[in-house]
Structures are given as C-alpha cells and as structure tokens.
Structure 1
Amino acid sequence: MNKMTIGGAFSETFAFLKANWMQMLLWVGGALILVGLLGYLFLGSTFSAMAMAPNDPSLVMGAFGRIGLFAIIAAVIFYGVSMLIWRGGMHPGEAPNFAWALQAGPALAFGMIVVMIAAYIVIFIVMLILTLIFGAALGGMGAFSPAALESGGAGAIGGGAIFVMIVVYIAIIVFMLWLQGRFIVAGPVMADRLTRNPVTGLGESWRLTGPSQWVIVGFYLLFTIGVVAYAIVAGMIFGGILGAIAGGSVVGAMLTMILMAALVYLPIMMLSFSVPVGVYRAIAPRASGDIFA
C-alpha cells in the first residue's frame, strides 16, 4: 500500500470527479429527485397535520415513525447509488449491477451504523469515567453543573471544569474524524471487489488506512472546511439571486429550493462521493488496468 499525501488525495478525488461527472450527475441527481418525491409523499401530510395539532402526542409519535422509515429508504437509495458510482468509475464500461448495489449499499450502511453505535458507547463510557475523576478533583459532580460553570465565584473549579470539557469535546471531534478516516474506503473496497460483505470492506479499509491515518484526518478536515465555506458562499449568492427572482410566491419558493439543491448541494454530494475513491486510489496498490485515468 502507498503512504498517502493530502495533495495526492485531492488530485485523485478531482480526477475521479472529472472522469465520471456525467454518470454521477445522472445517478445523484436522479437519487435526489426520487428522495424528494418520496419525502413529499411520506412526510408532506405528516408535517401539515403536526402544524394543525402540534400538541397531539399520537401525531408526534407517528411523525417520528414515518421520518425514521423515510430515512431508512433514503439511506438505501443513496448508499446503493454510491456503490453504482464507485463500481462504474473503477470498472468503466461494465453494465450497472443494480441487484448487487441495492444489497451492498444497505449492508455498508448497516456496518457503519454498528461502528458508530460502538463509537458512541466508547465515548459515553470515557466521558463518564472522566466526569467521575475530574468531577471529584474539581470539587465533586457539582463542578459540572450550570451554576458552577456560570459563576465567576467558582474560581478554579468553574474554570477547571470548563477547560476539561473543552479538551474532552476537542478529543471527541478528533476521535470521530479519525474513525471516519479509518473506514473511509470501505465502500470503494466493496465496489472494487463486488462484494456484499461489509466486514470485508471495513476490515480492508482499516488495514489500508493504517499507514496514512492522520494524513487522512488532515485531508478530511480540509475537505470539510472547504465544503462548508462553499455551501455558505454559494448559498448566499444563489439564494439572494433566486430569492429576488422568486418574488415571494409559493411556486417561486419551490423553484428556488429545487435550483438551490441543483446549484449548491448537488455539486457537494458529487464531490463527497468522489472522496472515498480518491483516498482509496491514493493508498491502494495500482491495479493492472488504470482506473479513471
């Protein structure tokens, strides 16, 4: 395996996007339209009913159930589409394998959910231990209470508790970035090998990312900052222009939402789908046939 560089990862990411942008535009755009229509069918009447009776517990519970079901369906669609994009980009000319993608995509989603649940359990246990240790050292559990944190008279106790909390939160963010970096190429591995087994993808991703794990964290952090900056700037520019054109009408507002999705969120999604393959390309050994050259 290769030792990744941040420049190499960006280069491979944009190379994949450049070589497969038309395919990605069709798959991702189609998925967005399908998910949008399903969202309207699943949740449109639900939100209207909740607006009319916001204090009805049965409506609230039913809404959570429908939102959960819709989230599962949307995840199946987007993970399936991602598998089609990764497989098509790494093996150009091959016919789309819809049956495999609709099985491999949800399998990877389930595997990642299990990983995230395990990570949150670890975080909860660590935070509980740190709270007990530092809470006692800083004056008991009351040191972490809102009154202790807000009072200037708490002195070292309040300041120490705040410092510990800041350090813990930064550590959690770094840990989550690191964890995502270790499993970032699980999907491309499954697509490259045409497997439905998420354990294969997750295990191979863990092995491949080992030598470059902190470089991947740095790359992922820079990518996230860039995406957020683009979303803010593009949202302000296109939102202002489209809002002025819409003129406050209902049809205009709907058209604005559609165009905002196409101009702002669609490019972000396409680039996000390119990142895992870009990292995979940067760290995995070259195959006999050059992919998305």
Structure 2
Amino acid sequence: MIKMSIGAAFSETFAFLKANWMQMLLWVGGALVVVGLLGYLFLGSTFTAMAMSAGDPSAAFGALGKIFLFALIASVILYGVCMLIWRGGMHPGEAPNFAWAFQAGPAFAFGTFVVMIAAYIVIIVIMLILGLVFGAALGGMGSMSPEALASGAVGGGAIFVMIILYIAVLVLMLWVQARFSVAGPVMADRLTRNPVTGFAESWRITGASQWKIVGFFLLFTLAMLAYMFVASLIFGGILGAILGGSAVGAVLSLIVMAAVVYLPIMMFSFSMPIGIYRAIAPRASGDVFA
C-alpha cells in the first residue's frame, strides 16, 4: 500500500484507456446496443400503457415490474462487461471469461448497492442528530418553508449551517466512494466472485490515499462535466442545423450524441477505478499496459 498522487491516477487512467480503447469500445458499444434493444422490447409500450391506464393499480404495478426487470438485466450486462474490460486490461491475452464476468458483475453491483444504502442510512442518522443539536439555529422546520425563505425569515446563520451540512454530505459520499473505489478491479484482478473480498481489500489499500482519491474524483467529475457541456454545445448545434427538427433527425441526433458524448464518458469512467488501483498498487498486474 502506497500513497497515491493525483497526477499518477490521471496518468494511469489515460494509459489504461489508451491501451484498451478498442476493446472497451467494442464491449461498451455492444452492451449499449443490447441494452437499448432490450429497453425497446421491454419498455416500448410500457409508458404508453401506464398513461392510458391511469388510476389502474394493477397496470401500474405491472409496468413497474417490467421496469425493474429491465433495470436488473441491464445492470447484469453493464457490470459484466465492466468486469470483462478490467480483467482483459489487467491480464492481456487471456480469453474472456464470460461465466465469471456475468456472476462477478452482478455481485459487485449488489455489493455497491448495499454499501450506498448503508452510507445513506448513516447520513440520515447524522442529519437527524445534527438537526436536533442545531434545531435552534435552524429555526425549526416551519421556518424552512419556501415562504419563510422568500420572506427572509430564515436567518443567515441557519442558511450557513444548511450549506455546511450539504457540503459535508457530499464530502462524506465522495469519501465512501473513494474507500471502495477499487473493489471492482480487485475482484477482476483476483478473478473472484466474492464482493466482500473486493470491498475489504479496497478499504485496506485506499487508506493511505483516501483524500487524494476524493480530490481526484472532484477533478475528474469537473473535467467530465466540462467535456459534456462543450461537446453537447458543439455537436448539438451542428446536428440541429443539419438535421432540423424532424423525428428522424431527433433519433439521429440522439445516436450521434450518445456516440460522441456518453460513450467516451462511460469509457473514462470504466478506466478511472483501474487508474486508481494501479496508482496505489503498482505491483498488481504489471502487464496491464503491455
């Protein structure tokens, strides 16, 4: 376990993407196509049916069941592909292990879901405690209504406390994400289906670099938001001028925007955990960029 530098994390992230971009493009692009087709098959008429059967609980529950089933299948596909990308990048030349990937992926997704739910519960408890402690400063729940805010009845001190609490919640969530950021790469590196192994090892090896990882997340998020804004502005304007406002033009615009905006962001997002993993455990999978 070593201390990570933010520069090393960016360097390893881009190096992984550079070495594996073709594989990632094929896997992620293929997964998005499959998920899109399944979404059309599962949900093509679901929302229309919900709108037409407003007030019918059985129809609403049936539609929600289809949405949940689609989300479950989509998560299995996307997380399985993520495992294939990580394993293939860290162990080049190894044949894809689909049986392992599509078991380890959902297990990792479930572990992530449990961790985030636990984090939210802790945050809610902390917020309740702080709400009781600073109840006088916050001026009571009634003073936090829109009318009170508009009339200026809420004091500046209460607003300041609210802002601090909001920032603290964001920092806490980033910290939790940082501590478990390399759980997936650990599972891929060790070829395990056990998410406890991944999360426990991630907690151990990120300890020395936890706040640097938080800083890396912040910079990475800002960079991705800037890219999304600029790319959407440029390509959205060009496509709007070329294709016009027709239905076919709208569909083509969505496809192009997905290819030039969302697909690159997903590829960078898949590379980021590996970048952190390589920056804090450089001896693990030394052939990753071979």
Normalised by the shorter chain, which TM-score bucket? over 0.9
- Structure 2 unaligned runs (5+)? none
Matched, 1:278 2:275: yes
The match for 2:239 among 242, 245, 250 is 242
* 1:130-158 residue CA offsets vs partner (Å, 9 max, x unmatched): 11221134544434344433332x3xx53
CA shift, 1:165, in A, is: 1.2
The one-letter code of the counterpart of 1:40 is: Y
2:171 alignment partner in structure 1: 174
Could you tell which deviates more after superposition, 243-252 or 26-35? 243-252
Listed as ranges, the matches of 1:103-252 within 5 Å are 103-152=103-152, 154=153, 157-252=154-249
Distance (whole Å) between structure 2 residues aligned to residue 264 and residue 61 of structure 1: 34
After superposition, the Cα gap between the structure-2 partners of 1:158 and 1:102, relative to the gap in structure 1 and judged at 3 Å, is same
**Cα contact 2:14–2:271 (8 A) shared by 1:** yes
TM-score by length of 2: 0.94
The one-letter code of the counterpart of 2:216 is: F
Matched, 1:79 2:79: yes
- Structure 1 unaligned runs (5+)? none
After superposition, the Cα gap between the structure-2 partners of 1:240 and 1:53, relative to the gap in structure 1 and judged at 3 Å, is farther
CA shift, 1:51, in A, is: 4.1
Aligned Cα RMSD in Å?
Answer: 1.7
Q: How many residues align?
A: 290
The one-letter code of the counterpart of 1:98 is: F
Distance (whole Å) between structure 1 residues aligned to residue 286 and residue 157 of structure 2: 57
Q: Percent identity?
A: 77
**Cα contact 1:143–1:161 (8 A) shared by 2:** no
Could you tell which deviates more after superposition, 129-138 or 116-125? 129-138
CA shift, 1:160, in A, is: 2.4
TM-score by length of 1: 0.93
Distance (whole Å) between structure 2 residues aligned to residue 288 and residue 236 of structure 1: 40
Could you tell which deviates more after superposition, 190-199 or 70-79? 70-79
After superposition, the Cα gap between the structure-2 partners of 1:178 and 1:138, relative to the gap in structure 1 and judged at 3 Å, is closer
1:18 alignment partner in structure 2: 18
